[in-house]
Chain A
Amino acid sequence: EIVLTQSPTTTAASPGEKVTITCLASSSVSHIYWYHQKSGASPKLLIYSTSTLASGVPDRFSGSGSGTSYSLTINTMEAEDVATYYCQQWSSNPWTFGGGTKLELK
């Protein structure tokens, strides 16, 4: 089973600040998927195939990486970005998720 390790576990950013969340895979994966989950809501797809934004996702979000190291970047933090972010892999069964990164507003 591929283990995905996210860092940091929790972070806080001021409006306008840049935020980077990393996802390290225990074995190489072809792509990483990113989801965000706001408090009390279900998860939503944010980025697929490493770097493609899901429909309606603002372009301040971006994804990159390859092999075992991937990252999600928010270029300019906004209050509505407060959420928990999860990475996920489809390369090796069972499909697995990272432990999540909770992003708060400073």
Chain B
Amino acid sequence: EVQLVESGGVLVQPGASLKLSCVASGFTFSDYWMSWVRQTPGKTMEWIGDIRYDGSYTNYGSSLKKRFTISRDNAKSTLYLQMSNVRSEDTATYYCSRVGGSTGFAYWGQGTLVTVSS
């Protein structure tokens, strides 16, 4: 069974940095592109970016690529999202997702909540 478990969501102050993790199991992690998607408190969905199966290429939504970095450790079956200089508008639930070629965001984790507030 495919499982994706995110962690690292916390309450942080504006301007801080934090790193989210997503541990995958139930499939060969190194075979798949992976993505991060976030959902605001108002339920708006926003794709953050994705990373190639070997970590050699990343692709970001244009508004976030200067502050967010996606990486992965295939030996640990773990996906990461490094967030820097966070703003109140970054408050959201962050999901990792396994990308399935033509099948879209095929699997999602349970999400981790990031709250940015002073």
A interface residues with partner B (beta carbon < 8 Å): 1, 31, 33, 35, 42-45, 48-49, 54, 84, 86, 88, 90, 93-97, 99-100
Tell me if B105 counts as interface (CB < 8 A to partner A).
yes
Given contacts A42-B95, A42-B111, A43-B95, contact A94 B47 (CB under 8 A): yes
Known contacts A49-B102, A88-B104, A100-B45, then 10 further A-B pairs from the complex at CB < 8 Å, ordered by chain A residue: A1-B62, A35-B104, A42-B108, A43-B39, A45-B103, A45-B104, A45-B107, A48-B102, A49-B103, A88-B105
| Majority SS at the chain A contact face | loop
CA distance A100 to B102 in the complex (A): 22
CA distance A84 to B39 in the complex (A): 13
Q: Which residue of B lies closest to A41 (CB)?
A: B110
Q: Which residue of B lies closest to A44 (CB)?
A: B108
Q: Which residue of A lies closest to B64 (CB)?
A: A94
Interface residues of B in 64-118 (CB under 8 A from A): 95, 100, 102-111
